[in-house]
């Protein structure tokens, strides 16, 4: 048996790529869970096509999953990958660009037959011509080897083909020295009722591992030690799952039923799927006939005393905007989750983008202020959804809870929060008849009483026509209208009393302040960190609350020579900062359906620093 040496690494980025039918997402998630449990810090980026199962071997059918893990702090899924697992020629073609020079390629030779090469647009086979010399190429006939491993079972070739991804996974487990247990258990649970598929996958997984252990092709294997994470109990979690759990936690704390009215849409559907599992938590999920019924049913539920929630993506928000205006007028709690995707219109449904900020801020008729909170990382979606619910209930208002495709599908290790330590949410249903008026506001929060149907003596009517202050009766008086418009605006402004002041990462004054919001947190953080290591005067402000903004944002901005606002759009937060604070903030924009690379932001900061010198 061959001698194998072991190298230590701080961090590695691996990308699994193959046909949408090859199960790359599953393979990636398995590697992720195993890696998480080993105590590495990590960040992932699933990247799949809009088609369900595009014909095999086509370029547009390629599905990829990238994982960046290490013994150091990991903030992004990795700008480039060190290892590329390519199940066929198209996968290589599409992803080669993101492989570092000198990186490793593991190619399934069976996926490079003439048909594959033609579909991928290769004139000659890159595995045999000289074109890949820059890289460490390992050609392995994974399909054939999988077949061998399963000979004894004589399964259909279709079934055999289906499990070849486990062979690749086994190889990667060996190469990065990870145990098989987690995946073995998962396979046993998942395919418990399909014994031969279970057995096949187990066999192949181990075959992949053994193959790497015994053959010559891999001379080195790598060791990536656990990261120094804060002590505690951890789990790996995706943004969509964390968001769903955050809503459930809030409802529990508030002693309310959670009602979700939603219409499926990528990339938000998984929240609906997740919540529909928790009937034993009293969660009610309603797949409506469209987005409008999704949001209006949720508003109806809120009227009835539930925590009404609706989940969607940009096009759905557009459809809901009239109803959200109604929620503003009737002042009922309503959480609107927007998992943003590439626009405009249907755009790039499976890609990520941050281009809905101005829509959620302004996309309604009339003066219809709605608070906005945005999650910064996949795990952060939990706290964000929790806070959104808390504010919606306390201020009797609709609220936008912003996520995006990258956050929703991406995952990271999560220090499991102490549920009991989470702040209490204590909504009050009005019950005293004495002195009840539907629009008599709380002096501090300006929120109106929540008097739900079924409460004796509080019968009242609400609606979308302008309301009279206090009585809530329909009222067309000029002064009352102006008063109510300003009152609704003031109510949302007052939420600023309820949110923490913004905190700068780095010095509170200096040359460049990089301001971000949402899913760009990781890449900005890394870019800023690199500059700070080099002693540059660069700081990072990441806004969790977009409306209202923390009271100290202005002061902070004024303390820096330059304000740079990187966004995955054409510049939206930057517009808001300029209009609110009249600072000459400049945007740095990428709108390609992909997250920022830390290095791009790093370079941009560089430029600005040069300018200042």
Partner 1 sequence: MSALIEEIMKQSPPPSDQKPSAKDFQSDQDVRWCPGCGDYSILAQTQRVMPDLGIPRHQMVFVSGIGCSSRFPYYMNTYGFHSIHGRATAIASGLKMARPELSMWVVTGDGDGLSIGGNHMIHLLRRNLDINVLLFNNQIYGLTKGQYSPTSEQGKVTKSTPYGSLDYPFNPASLALGSSATFVARTLDRDPKHMQTIIKRAAQHNGTSFVEIYQNCNVFNDGAFFKFTEKDSKDDTVIFLEHGKPLIFGKEKEKGIRLNGYSPEVVSLKEGKWSQDDLLVHNEKDTTLSFILSDMTYKAGLPRPVGIFLAIDRPVYEQEMVRQISFAKEKRGDGDMVKLLHSGDTWAVQ
For partner 1, the binding residues in 255-314 under the rule CB under 8 A are 255-257, 259, 261, 263-266, 269, 272-273, 276-293, 296-301, 303-306, 308
456 is in the binding site of which of its own copies, partner 1, ligand TPP, none (Cβ under 5 to 8 A by kind)? partner 1
Strand partners, 512: 538, 562
The DSSP output letter for 517 is E
Nearest CA to 175 out of 45, 84, 73 is that of 84
Closer residue to its own copies in complex, CB, 96/106: 96
Rounded distance, CA 32 to CA 194, Å? 24
CA dist., res. 116 & res. 607, Å (int): 43
Q: Select 136 or 575, whichever has its Cβ closest to its own copies.
A: 575
- Minimum CB distance to partner 1, residue 490 (Å): 24
The binder of 486, among its own copies, partner 1, ligand SF4, none, by C-beta within 5 to 8 A per type, is its own copies
Interacting positions 99-158 with ligand SF4 (CB under 6 A): none
What is the DSSP annotation of 52-108? Answer: SSPPTT-STTEEEEEEEEESS---SS-SSEEEEEESSHHHHHHHGGGEEEEEEEEEE
Residues 73, 161, 213, 322: which binds partner 1 (CB under 8 A)? Answer: 322
Nearest Cα to 23, choosing from 195, 199, 204, 164?
164
C-alpha pair distances (Å), 58 with each of 19, 48, 348, 489: 8, 13, 18, 52
- Cα torsion 370, 396, 254, 248: sign: negative
Residue 232's binding partner among partner 1, ligand SF4, ligand TPP, none (Cβ under 5 to 8 angstroms by kind) is partner 1
52 binds ligand SF4 (CB under 6 A): yes
Q: Does 554 engage in binding with partner 1 (CB under 8 A)?
A: no
Pairing of strands 334-340, 398-404: parallel
Smallest distance from the beta carbon of 348 to its own copies, in angstroms?
5
Residue with tokens 């928790």: 278
Residue 563 is a binding residue for partner 1 (CB under 8 A): no
The whole-angstrom separation of Cα 543 and Cα 519 is 11
| Contacts (Cβ under 8 Å, ≥6 apart) of 114 | none
Binder of residue 362, out of ligand SF4, partner 1, ligand TPP, none (CB less than 5 to 8 A by kind): none
Per the rule left: phi > 0, alpha: psi between -120 and 50, beta: everything else, 178 is beta
User: Which of 55, 121, 366, 611 lies at the binding interface for partner 1 (CB under 8 A)?
Assistant: 55
SS3 letters across 535-578: CCCEEEEEECEEECCCCCHHHHHHCEEEEEEEECCCCCHHHHHH
- Closest to ligand SF4 by CB, 161 vs 257, is 161
Judged by beta carbon distances under 5 to 8 A according to partner kind, the member of partner 1, ligand SF4, its own copies, none in contact with residue 195 is: none
Q: Would you say 1 or 52 has its CB closer to ligand SF4? A: 52
384-423: which residues touch partner 1 (CB under 8 A)? 415-417, 419-420
Q: Which residues bind its own copies (CB under 8 A)?
A: 49-50, 60, 313-315, 317-319, 321-322, 325-326, 328-329, 342-349, 351, 353, 355-356, 358-359, 361-368, 463-466, 476, 478-479, 481-482, 485-486, 488-489, 569-570, 575-576, 578-579, 582, 584, 590-594
Evaluate whether 381 touches 239 at the Cβ level (below 8 Å): yes
List the x/- string, 192-221, binding to partner 1 by CB under 8 A.
Answer: ------------------------------
Residue 533 touches ligand SF4, criterion: CB under 6 A: no
Token digits for 241? 């799952």
């Amino acid at each position: 048996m061959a001698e194998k040496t072991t190298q230590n690494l701080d961090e590695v980025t691996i990308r699994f790529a193959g046909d949408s039918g090859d199960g790359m997402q599953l393979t990636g998630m398995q590697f992720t869970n195993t890696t998480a449990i080993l105590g590495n810090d990590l960040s992932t980026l699933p990247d799949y096509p809009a088609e369900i199962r595009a014909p095999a071997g086509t370029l547009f059918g390629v599905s990829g999953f990238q994982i960046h893990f290490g013994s150091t702090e990991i903030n992004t899924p990795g700008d480039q990958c060190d290892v590329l697992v390519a199940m066929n020629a198209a996968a290589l073609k599409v992803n080669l660009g993101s492989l570092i020079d000198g990186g490793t390629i593991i190619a399934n030779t069976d996926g490079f037959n003439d048909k594959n090469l033609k579909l991928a647009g290769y004139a000659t086979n890159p595995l045999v011509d000289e074109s890949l010399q820059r890289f460490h190429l390992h050609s392995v006939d994974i399909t054939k080897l999988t077949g061998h491993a399963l000979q004894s079972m004589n399964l259909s070739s279709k079934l055999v083909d289906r499990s070849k991804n486990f062979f690749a996974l086994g190889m990667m487990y060996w190469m990065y020295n990870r145990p098989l247990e987690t995946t073995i258990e998962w396979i046993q649970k998942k395919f418990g009722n399909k014994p031969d598929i279970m057995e096949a996958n187990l066999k192949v997984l181990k075959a992949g591992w053994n193959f790497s252990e015994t053959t010559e092709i891999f001379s080195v294997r790598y060791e990536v030690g656990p990261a120094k994470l804060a002590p505690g109990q951890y789990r790996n979690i995706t943004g969509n799952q964390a968001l769903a759990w955050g809503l459930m936690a809030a409802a529990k704390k508030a002693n309310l039923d959670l009602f979700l009215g939603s219409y499926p849409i990528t990339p938000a559907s998984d929240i609906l799927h997740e919540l529909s599992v928790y009937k034993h938590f009293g969660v009610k999920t309603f797949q409506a006939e469209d987005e409008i019924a999704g949001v209006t049913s949720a508003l109806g539920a809120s009227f009835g005393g539930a925590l009404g929630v609706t989940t969607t993506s940009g096009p759905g928000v557009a459809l809901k905007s009239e109803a959200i205006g109604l929620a503003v007028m009737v002042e009922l709690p309503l959480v609107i989750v927007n998992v943003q995707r590439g626009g405009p219109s249907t755009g790039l449904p499976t890609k990520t983008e941050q281009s809905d900020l101005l829509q959620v801020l302004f996309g309604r008729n009339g003066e219809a202020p709605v608070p906005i909170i945005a999650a910064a990382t996949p795990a952060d979606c939990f706290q964000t959804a929790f806070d959104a619910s808390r504010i919606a209930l306390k201020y009797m208002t609709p609220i936008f809870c912003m996520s995006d495709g990258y956050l929703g599908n991406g995952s990271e290790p999560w220090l499991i929060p102490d549920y009991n330590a989470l702040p209490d949410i204590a909504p009050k249903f009005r019950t005293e008849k004495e002195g009840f008026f539907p629009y008599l506001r709380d002096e501090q929060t300006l929120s109106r009483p929540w008097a739900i149907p079924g409460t004796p003596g509080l019968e009242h009517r609400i609606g979308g026509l302008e309301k009279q202050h206090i009585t809530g009766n329909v009222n067309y008086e000029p002064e009352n209208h102006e008063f109510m418009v300003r009152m609704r605006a003031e109510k949302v402004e007052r939420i600023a009393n309820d949110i923490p002041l913004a905190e700068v990462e780095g010095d509170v004054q200096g040359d460049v302040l990089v301001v971000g919001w949402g899913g760009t947190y990781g890449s900005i953080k890394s870019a800023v960190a690199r500059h700070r290591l080099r002693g540059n005067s660069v700081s990072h402000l990441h806004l969790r609350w977009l409306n209202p903004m923390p009271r100290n944002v202005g002061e902070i901005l004024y303390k820096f020579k330059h304000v740079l606002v990187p966004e995955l759009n054409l510049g939206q937060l930057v517009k808001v900062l300029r209009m609110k604070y009249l600072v000459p903030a400049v945007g740095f924009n990428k709108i390609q359906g992909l997250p920022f690379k830390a290095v791009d932001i790093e370079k941009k900061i560089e430029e600005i620093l040069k300018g200042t010198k």
